[in-house]
């Protein structure tokens, strides 16, 4: 083995160690970069055969990525669940103040005061002020029903707007992935770049918070991304449209082919919006309409059984458009105080009918419940759903933290490990550099001897 061969092998080893050091330093620099995973420098031994004049040494191979697909899938799965419950909770908590469970304000207070006014009317059936108080309290009830229905309607409209924003963001991220795929297909080396790799996986993680996705890597390094594992968002150099529309009752998602894919989506913030807008809010509005229509119908029916101060059959106190829209359209009928039927037909000028009106508060009218109890059940249901959303969000967030921690243990950058490797490589570099110095000196001495 010649001195020149040994010197050349040592120089090549210096280059290999230098590249390994660069990989380690890059790990340290990008330890907190989103989506970045550690790269393992690879040193490959070269053939050592002195008899054949082969000096050995090492050469640098391609760095080995620490990324583990199973860890990435686990993070994306938990991220989708956390996103779903986070968004659902955000949509529902804005209604927490609208449903007062104490009965001291808002709609429950207005209902209680209406029946208190009926009781006061029974005490003074011919008193004009007592009669006017009934009309005033009825107006309060109608306003509170309309206000609460308006709150639910606004919440649903905000959910619709949020779904449009989230779909737009999903589209933007799909386009970004399409751009990555285009770059990778045009240059395979780009796909192996740790910086590009970090951008791709950071984008996938952001996308998974918005919707549950499945990401598959093709043989050419490009990614196929499917919504709910079925509907394409990005395949190769193509991105596929996703749109959201509201038909007045539900938000529906449509893919590029015009197919309804609403039920394909099972996770992410977009699913949380759909849960709120398509399930919870419509159900609560329906119950509110039932309460409004039931209360109005019961009061009107009781009034129809009596007579007013002129002996005329009682006029209706409430009116509304349709039972399915009762809360939002409830109004007090344009009647005069003397038209309230406080007396029974058999006892004009008495208070029998006013007593019947006051007793309605104790009668089970809806699902075997009184009006206050029906409202209390509705308010409790809202509170329970919000509480359940909080618990689900906390659990999903904890599982997401755990999944990210496990991923970090598998593929994240450990500064302690990188520091140890840096010292190891520096010493190897220094030792090889000394060998190069010795070989250079021997070479120079040998040349001088031959002169």
Give me the mean pLDDT over the 273-289 stretch. Answer: 95
pLDDT of amino acid 189:
67
Please tell me which residue, 219 or 450, carries the higher pLDDT value: 219
pLDDT of amino acid 335:
93
> How long, in residues, is the chain?
451
End-to-end CA distance of the chain: 22
Q: Token match 């038909």: residue?
A: 247
Residues 6+ apart with CB under 8 A from 155: 91, 94, 95, 276, 281
pLDDT of amino acid 306:
93
Tokens standing for residue 398: 């904890």
Question: pLDDT tens digits, residue range 127-159?
Answer: 999 999 999 999 999 999 999 999 999 999 999
* pTM to 2 decimal places: 0.84
Question: pLDDT tens digits, residue range 246-265?
Answer: 988 899 999 999 999 999 99
Question: Mean of the per-residue pLDDT values for the chain?
Answer: 87
Report the phi/psi class of residue 311: left, alpha or beta, with left for phi > 0 and alpha for psi in -120 to 50. left
Residues 6+ apart with CB under 8 A from 256: 232, 240, 241, 242
Between CA 8 and CA 439 the distance in angstroms is 10
Q: How far is CA 356 from the centre of its chain?
A: 50
Segments making up each domain of the chain, as ranges: 3-66+414-450, 74-400
User: At 449, is the pLDDT very low, low, confident or very high (cuts 50, 70, 90)?
Assistant: confident
User: Which of 190, 194, 193, 191 has its CA nearest to residue 28?
Assistant: 194
Question: pLDDT tens digits, residue range 324-379?
Answer: 999 999 999 999 999 999 998 888 888 999 999 999 999 998 999 999 999 999 99
User: At 94, is the pLDDT very low, low, confident or very high (cuts 50, 70, 90)?
Assistant: confident
Residue 235 in 3-state DSSP?
strand
User: Helices then strands (H, E): number in the chain?
Assistant: 12, 14
pLDDT of amino acid 7:
63
């Amino acid at each position: 083995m010649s001195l020149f061969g040994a010197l050349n092998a040592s120089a090549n080893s210096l280059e290999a160690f230098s590249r390994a050091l660069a990989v380690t330093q890059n790990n340290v620099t990008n330890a907190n970069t989103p989506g970045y995973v550690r790269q393992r420098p690879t040193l490959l031994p070269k053939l050592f055969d002195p008899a054949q004049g082969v000096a050995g040494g090492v050469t640098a191979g391609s760095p080995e990525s620490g990324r583990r697909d199973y860890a990435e899938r686990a993070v994306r799965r938990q991220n989708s669940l956390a996103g779903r419950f986070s968004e659902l909770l955000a949509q529902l908590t804005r209604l927490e103040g609208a449903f007062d469970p104490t009965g001291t304000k808002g709609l429950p207070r207005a209902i209680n005061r209406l029946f208190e006014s009926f009781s006061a009317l029974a005490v003074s059936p011919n008193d004009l002020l007592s009669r006017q108080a009934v009309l005033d309290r009825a107006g309060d009830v109608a306003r509170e029903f309309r206000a609460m229905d308006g709150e639910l309607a606004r919440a649903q409209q905000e959910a619709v707007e949020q779904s449009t924003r989230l779909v737009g963001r999903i589209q933007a991220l799909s386009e970004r992935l399409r751009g990555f795929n285009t770059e990778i297909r045009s240059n395979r080396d780009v796909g192996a770049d740790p910086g590009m790799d970090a951008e791709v996986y950071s984008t996938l993680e952001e996308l998974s918070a918005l919707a549950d996705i499945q990401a598959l890597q093709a043989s050419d390094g490009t990614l196929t991304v499917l919504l709910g594992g079925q509907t394409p968002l990005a395949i190769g150099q193509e991105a596929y449209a996703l749109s959201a529309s509201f038909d007045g009752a539900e938000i529906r998602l449509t893919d590029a082919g015009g197919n309804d894919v609403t039920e394909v989506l099972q996770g992410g913030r977009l699913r949380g919006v759909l849960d709120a807008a398509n399930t919870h809010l419509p159900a609560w509005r329906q119950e509110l309409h039932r309460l409004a229509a039931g209360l109005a119908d019961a009061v009107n029916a009781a009034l129809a059984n009596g007579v007013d101060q002129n002996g005329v059959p009682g006029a209706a106190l409430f009116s509304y458009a349709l039972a399915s829209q009762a809360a939002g359209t409830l109004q007090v009928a344009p009647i005069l105080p003397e038209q309230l039927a406080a007396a029974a037909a058999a006892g004009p000028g008495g208070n029998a009918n006013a007593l019947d009106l006051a007793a309605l508060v104790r009668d089970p009218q809806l699902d075997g419940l009184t009006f206050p109890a029906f409202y209390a059940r509705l308010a409790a249901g809202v509170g329970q759903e919000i509480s359940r959303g909080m618990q689900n969000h906390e659990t999903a967030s904890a599982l997401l933290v755990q999944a990210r921690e496990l991923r970090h243990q598998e593929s994240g950058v450990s500064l302690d490990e990188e520091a140890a490797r840096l010292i190891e490589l520096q010493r190897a570099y220094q030792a090889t550099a000394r060998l190069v110095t010795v070989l250079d000196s021997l070479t120079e001495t040998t040349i001088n001897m031959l002169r």
